[in-house]
Amino acid sequence: QVQLVQSGSELKKPGASVRVSCKASGYTFTHHFINWLRQAPGQGLEWMGFIDTNIGNPTYAQDFSGRLVFSLDTSVSTAYLQVSSLKTEDSAIYYCARWFHFGSGGYYDYWGQGTLVTVSS
Amino acid sequence: EIVLTQSPGTLSLSPGERATLSCRASQSISSTHLAWYQQKPGQAPRVLIFSASTRAIGIPDRFSGSGSGTDFTLSISRVEPQDSAVYYCQLYRNSPPVTFGGGTKVEIK
């Protein structure tokens, strides 16, 4: 069965960086884009971007001012999210999600369990 | 950028009642690009409906989606206690690729 398993919770100080991993299993990793999304406490879902797992090309949401890096290790079917120059407002649950693409549409069919990142001095 | 506005913010219903959730786009969109998700406390979202009206695998037929243009609706024909959750609509387009509505919280009395 398809699974996305994320790394554990992180506590970071403002200005630091954090890396979150997302290990996929149960399907061919390079056949589906991996998206990254986040959810601040009590808030809605925010799309951060995605990575083409076939060629490794990332696309970032404009709101993050170059603080994001998406990467892959296809040998272990794992995607990584790095966020640098953390601010307290980056405290959130970070999700990876598999994009199921069809024709001109698509949706997220599988999600990781989420990784809580807390930024506090 | 297209904005999705969901209403109401909160819906409080008794078991067996019908729930009607609205998602309005700031400009006309293709129904192919509209999906609905359910998120229960402490869980990741799960897809309910894609292409505005197609139920995802394993989703009960109590859930249905409809709409076109700028107005889309998620309906739950007879709500059950386990339907307590926040429901999000999501748009897929070229730029930016993905946008979510602000969510509707459904409470079951």
The span from the CA of B15 to the CA of B19, in Å, is 10
Whether residues A47 and B35 touch (CB distance < 8 A) is answered with no
Each of the 121 residues of chain A gets a pLDDT tens digit; together they read 999 999 999 999 999 999 999 999 999 999 999 999 999 999 999 999 999 999 999 999 988 878 999 999 999 999 999 999 999 999 999 999 999 988 888 899 999 999 999 999 9
Q: In whole numbers, what is the pLDDT of chain B averaged over residues?
A: 95
The residue type at A27: Y
Given an 8 Å threshold on Cβ–Cβ distance, is A95 in contact with B44? yes
Q: Is A64 helix (H, G, I), strand (E, B) or coil?
A: helix
Rounded Cα distance between B71 and A111, Å, is 27
Residue A116, Cα to own-chain centre: how many angstroms?
12
Would you state the pLDDT for residue B13?
Answer: 96
**pLDDT at residue A55, as a whole number:** 95
Residues of B contacting chain A (CB within 8 angstroms):
30, 32-33, 35, 37, 44-47, 50-51, 56, 88, 90, 92, 96-103
Nearest CB among B32, B47, B102 relative to A104 is that of: B32
The whole-number pLDDT of residue B1 equals 84
The pLDDT tens digits for A23-52 are 999 999 999 999 999 999 999 999 999 999
Q: Indicate the DSSP class of residue A59.
A: E
Render pLDDT for B68-109 as a digit per residue (tens, 0 to 9). 999 999 999 999 999 999 999 999 886 668 999 999 999 999
